[in-house]
Amino acid sequence: MRTFGKITLTAAVSLAALLSVPGAGQSCCNRPDLALTTFAGDAWFYGVAWSPRGDLIAAAAWDSTVRVWNPDTLEPVYTLRGHLSWVHTVAFHPGEEILASGARDKAIFLWDLRTGREIRRIYGHAGTVNAVAWSPDGTLLASASDDGTVCLWDTTFWTILRTLAGHEGPVLCLAFSPDGATLATGGEDTTIRLWDVALGRQIRSLWGHQAPLRALAFSPDGHLLGGVSQLWSARLWDLATGKTRYEFPSGIYRSYSAAFSPNGRYLAVGRQDATIRLYDVATGHETLVLTGHTGGVLGLAWSPDGKMLTSGSADSKVKLWDVSNLR
């Protein structure tokens, strides 16, 4: 059954203060006019995702629901209910009509997008599930948790194939490389760790961030990794050398989200000052600033064709941006 109820949530004061906007900075390249539409509610939207075919957008909401929209009609499709607490993350299966979600209730839900019904719920973590990601071939689902572990799930039998442990504290974000051979994880311990998926072994640690990692994004060719930490800056890592190629300072503002454009030319970063900054990967220069949110930008996702960018925010809005003129 499809439901389109009003979103409600009472936020903890400390978290509201964390995501408040002291004042959005202005720039000569600010483009509020690029916002095509806004999906509004009364709860913060965290992780956002596009389906591989580009026909659905999903957003994790902090009222314990997952919201799904049709980007062509701009109409709501589903409100998925079942989680018992804030939903942090969503991810579409690369080849099937399945959506995974993870939440503060320690559960991972799998949803049938043909019916809007729950297929399965799986448990394996002792803390909040902060991030989920499918391997490119869909045979694995990775989940990161406050319990300090990453689980690799077999998607046929839904058993844990491997548990990756190495971070000192909660694991907050993760991403598969485009070839599926490497998994990058970011933690509250300020490190990025790279893992050999087949062997379940750590390959390398990347040091340089000075605050907890909030988002990771591989470039489409797998040569670069964007890392966003909670304070001061985002970094673009060269994985061949293990060194920072560019650092993108954010001043007093926190950074929360990151996404690579499908053509690999741009890294989008969502910040506490309610802006989305687009950086040219070749030069490290800031190319565009998208303004229009009034709260921290907690989630970002590009459409598969790269013509649109979706953002989820602490202002209880999901925005759809026209970036088709970027080359």
Considering the chain, what percentage of its residues have pLDDT values greater than 70? 90
Decide which of 253 and 108 is more confident: 108
Quick one: CATH architecture of 39-322? 7 Propeller (2.130)
Q: Strand 255-260 and strand 243-249: pairing?
A: unpaired
Q: What are phi and psi of 18, to 5 degrees?
A: -60, -35
Residue 17 confidence (pLDDT) above 50: no
**Domain residues of the chain, as ranges?**
39-322
Q: Which residues, at least 6 apart from 14, have a Cβ–Cβ distance to it below 8 Å?
A: none
In angstroms, the CA 147 to CA 159 distance is: 18
Tokens of 30: 């600010």
Q: Which residues, at least 6 apart from 131, have a Cβ–Cβ distance to it below 8 Å?
A: 47, 88, 89, 102, 142, 143, 144, 171, 172, 173, 174
Q: Per-residue confidence at 54, pLDDT binned at 50, 70, 90? A: very high
**What does the pLDDT look like over 171-198, one tens digit per residue?**
999 999 999 999 999 999 999 999 999 9
Q: Hey, is 1 helix, strand or coil?
A: coil
Closest CA to 206 of 169, 245, 178: 245
The residue-averaged pLDDT of 227-250 equals 91
Decide which of 302 and 33 is more confident: 302
What pLDDT sits at residue 37? Answer: 76
Mean pLDDT score of the chain: 89
What pLDDT sits at residue 275? Answer: 96
What pLDDT sits at residue 298? Answer: 97
User: Which of the residue ranges 8-22, 80-94, 232-246, 279-293 would you say has the lowest mean pLDDT?
Assistant: 8-22
Residue 39 confidence (pLDDT) above 90: no
Its pTM stands at 0.90
Considering the chain, what percentage of its residues have pLDDT values greater than 90? 82
The residue-averaged pLDDT of 243-249 equals 94
What pLDDT sits at residue 222? Answer: 98
Residue 22 confidence (pLDDT) above 50: no
Q: Per-residue confidence at 29, pLDDT binned at 50, 70, 90? A: low
Q: What are phi and psi of 283, to 5 degrees?
A: -110, -20
Tokens of 280: 């040219």
Biggest distance spanned by C-alpha atoms of the chain = 53
Tokens of 187: 């933690």
Q: Per-residue confidence at 130, pLDDT binned at 50, 70, 90? A: very high
